[in-house]
Amino acid sequence: MSIFTLSKDEKIIAVIRKHWFILLRDSFGLIVIYIVPFIAYWYFFDNTITPKILIDKIYTNFTPSIMIFTISSWTLIIWIKLFAIWTDYYFDVWFITNKRIIDIEQKGFFRREVSTFRMERIQDVSINIKGIIATFLDFGDIHAQTAGESQKFIIKGIRRPKQIKEIIMKLSDKVIK
Amino acid sequence: MQLNTNNIVDSFSNGFTGLINDFISNNANSIVWFIFLFIFAFFLIYSLILVYHWLKYGIGSFTVWFAMIAYFSVSLICIILMYLSAIIIF
């Protein structure tokens, strides 16, 4: 792994990513933006409220080749942006090893934060599942308090937070003993 | 003296849209190719950045390879369609 190096007796216990619903929520705006021009086109097409000038300028001049050019250009732009969102989502990852938690956060393209929390420094771990969707799809946030400093670390929108909390607590207890 | 606002609005809008019409019809070819090249440049720059991240941080991951294939397949189809339709337009 090029992002971090494991020590000799260290092994990865779990690799955690955000729930797929987070990706859906983040890309929802983009999907709406993509659909709006199509809805507007079909709604105003042959509609009595559409001014004649608009019909003359847009609809009568809209040949199939112009339409294909417009749709494919628009699709390409949205497709690229969608993968930018996916990249941001996919590279937000947490590695739980038997010794520490490695938190890798991709913030945009050119900002990447890698933080490490040693298991023996972890004190309280709590989970936060907010709302009906999070309850049914089983995702939420994990809040962990670290000793020695008043810093809290939060893992947001992860799958199965209860199980992950149990894993962290067990590993933390094991390290302390 | 009564001011005929309809005539003023008509003459203004006809003049304005006429100006736009003239501009578009005189430069239609350049406009379409400019849009094509602009979007293609946008695609190239974004793809370089995305591929850099995928290869640097996601190498060996099946999901990343699958994402790359999906990304470039759909993008290629869109670019080909854009290119062909741009040729057909003129």
Angle made by CA atoms A32, A104, A166, in degrees to the nearest 5: 100
- Residues of chain B contacting residue A66, judged by C-beta atoms under 8 Å apart: 85, 89
Interface of B with A (CB under 8 A): 13, 17, 32, 35-36, 39, 42-43, 46-47, 49-50, 53-54, 56-59, 63-64, 67, 71, 74-75, 77-79, 81-82, 84-86, 88-89
When CB atoms are compared, the residue of B49, B54, B89 closest to A65 is B89
The whole-number pLDDT of residue A9 equals: 83
Interstrand relation of A122-128 and A112-118 (parallel, antiparallel or unpaired): unpaired
| Chain A with chain B: Cβ pairs closer than 8 A | 74
Is pLDDT above 60 for B78?
Answer: yes
Q: Do B75 and A63 touch (CB under 8 A)?
A: no
Residue A98 class from Cβ within 10 Å (0-12 exposed, 13-18 middle, 19+ buried)? middle
Per-residue pLDDT at A59: 63
What ipTM is given for this predicted complex? 0.78
Q: What is the pLDDT of residues A49-90, one digit of tens each?
A: 666 666 666 666 677 888 899 999 999 999 999 999 999 999
Minimal Cβ distance to A76: which of B13, B43, B54: B43
List CB contacts (< 8 A) between B47 and chain A: 80
Q: Average pLDDT for residues A12-28, to the nearest whole number? A: 92
Nearest to B71 among A57, A72, A83 (CB): A83
Residue A155: pLDDT band by 50, 70, 90 thresholds? confident
Fold observed for domain A12-18+92-176: PH-domain like (2.30.29)
In chain B, what residues touch A90 (CB-CB under 8 Å)? 58, 63-64, 67
- Residue closest to B87 by CA, chosen among B43, B37, B33: B33
Say how many Å lie between the first and final Cα of chain A, rounded.
29
Q: Which sequence spans correspond to the domains of chain B?
A: 28-89
* Nearest chain A alpha carbon to B86: A69
Residue-level pLDDT at A103:
87
> Which residues have a Cβ under 8 Å from the Cβ of B75 and sit 6 or more positions away?
A76, A79, A80, B43, B47
- pLDDT, residue A42, reads 79
With bands split at pLDDT 50, 70 and 90, how would you rate the model's confidence at A138?
Answer: very high
Backbone angles phi, psi at A48, to 5 degrees: -70, -25
pTM as predicted: 0.80
Is residue A85 within 8 A of residue A93, CB to CB? The reply is: no
CA distances from A127 to A159, B10, B80 (A): 11, 65, 49
Task: Find the largest Cα–Cα distance for chain B.
Answer: 81
pLDDT of A149 over the 70 cut: no
Residue ranges of chain A that CATH labels 2.30.29.30: 12-18+92-176
